[in-house]
Each structure stands twice: as C-alpha cells, then as structure tokens.
Amino acid sequence: MIFLERKRTVLTLAVMLKDDFLPDKKTIGDVFLKATGVRREIIKHSTGYFLLVNLPDGEHVLTGSGRYYKPVNLTIDTKSIDPKQPFAELTLTPKSNYPFPDGFTVLKGKIIDMDYRPLSDVSINIKLMPQSTTSEEDGGFFIHFTSRDDDENITLTINKNGYISRDVPALLKKDITTRIEPIILAKL
C-alpha cells in the first residue's frame, strides 16, 4: 500500500539578487541566498528569483552572496510581507575577484606581508582623488574610476596599523581593468 502525502506550499517571499555594478543589474556567476530558520534548500526559479515557501512566522535574516560578491544581509519580518506582492531585492557589491568587463576603468591589486600572507583591512587611498577602498580578507582590492579621458599615472597611499605606510605608483589604463603587482607591507 502506498500513501501519498499532500503538502500545500505557500510562497512567503521571492527575492531577487541584483548586481550593484552592472547597468542591467543582472548578477554573474554563482549566487545564493540563505535564510535563518530555513532548513530546506531555497528554490532558485528560472526567472532569477529565490523562492522562500512556507517560511515560519517571525524575523529572518536573509544573506545573499556569491563567488564574485560580498555577503549582504537583510532582516525581514514575515508580518511585514504583503502576501499580494511578496517581493524583495538584495543588491550585491562586487569582491576583488569580480570579472569587470571592458569599458570600465578599474584598478585591482593585492596587499601582502613580508611572508606573502594576505593582509585584510588595509586602507588604500589615491593621492589627489576621492577614491579609496579597503583590502578584503584575501588581501585583494579594487577601485572603480568613473569617466577617465586618458590613461593616467596615479599614486596609491597604503596604510595599516602596525605596518610601514607606502606610496605606490601605478599607471591607470582607461576603460580596462589594470592589475598591479602585489604590494608588500613591512611591519613597524
């Protein structure tokens, strides 16, 4: 004798992950969504939406990320979701390994110590420009530059507590990703 169990599933929330960098906002590479209080796998629909069905009542933290994106959290309360419009968006920002397309002026690099270990939370500023960033856990960083007319020589100022600060020259190429050699910092 075979017993079939019928379960009713109700869409609680549909979440679209969007790319903060690209004009069309479509994510690239593998992306994922996790939610607190959800034991089974979240469904990724062919439209790109992540579908949360039968989500337990209460507050949940949604985490969106992917191979090329930093994790982003969104706290939702199921009571605040409109059942007629159960949609949300999470905008993902690129990590330093993001494959920037041609047409964008980007500088990529990596900060390491004297033993070639990556250094995170290193401050990277560009002299005489407003752009700045901080190195990631793997030591990688990127800086996006808008509207460049030509290639340009720039100077990066690199700072981290406990290390000797450095000024590093670089040639920034217009409309492509410029990769510079790893920058080595020595301890004080």
For the full predicted model, state whether its pTM sits above 0.75: yes
Distance in angstroms (rounded) separating the CA atoms of residues 7 and 9: 6
For residue 126, the SS3 value is strand
pLDDT band at residue 77 under the 50/70/90 scheme = very high
Question: Residue 59 has what pLDDT?
Answer: 93
Only one residue has tokens 């301890």, namely 187
Question: Residue 4 has what pLDDT?
Answer: 63
Distance in angstroms (rounded) separating the CA atoms of residues 122 and 185: 10
Mean predicted confidence (pLDDT) in 18-29: 93
Q: Which amino acid is at 110?
A: K
HSE-CB for 40 with a 13 A CA cutoff: 9
Question: Residue 2 has what pLDDT?
Answer: 66
For the residues of 105-145, what is the DSSP string, one character each? Answer: EEEEEEEEETTS-B--S-EEEETTSS-EEE--TTSEEEEEE
Domains and CATH numbers, the chain: 11-92 (2.60.40.1120), 105-185 (2.60.40.1120)
Q: What percent of the chain has pLDDT over 90?
A: 80
DSSP code of residue 7? -
Distance in angstroms (rounded) separating the CA atoms of residues 129 and 70: 25
Mean predicted confidence (pLDDT) in 56-78: 94
State pLDDT tens for residues 138-187: 999 999 998 788 999 999 999 999 999 999 999 999 999 999 999 999 99
Q: Is the pLDDT of residue 3 over 70?
A: no
Mean predicted confidence (pLDDT) in 4-26: 86
Q: How many CB atoms lie within 10 A of CB 145?
A: 18
State pLDDT tens for residues 103-121: 899 999 999 999 999 999 9
Mean of pLDDT over the chain? 92
Question: Residue 148 has what pLDDT?
Answer: 81
Q: Which amino acid is at 141?
A: F
Question: Residue 11 has what pLDDT?
Answer: 85
Q: Is the pLDDT of residue 1 over 80?
A: no
Question: Residue 5 has what pLDDT?
Answer: 64
HSE-CB for 83 with a 13 A CA cutoff: 5
CB within 8 A of 80, min separation 6: which ones?
none
pLDDT band at residue 55 under the 50/70/90 scheme = confident
Mean predicted confidence (pLDDT) in 51-71: 93
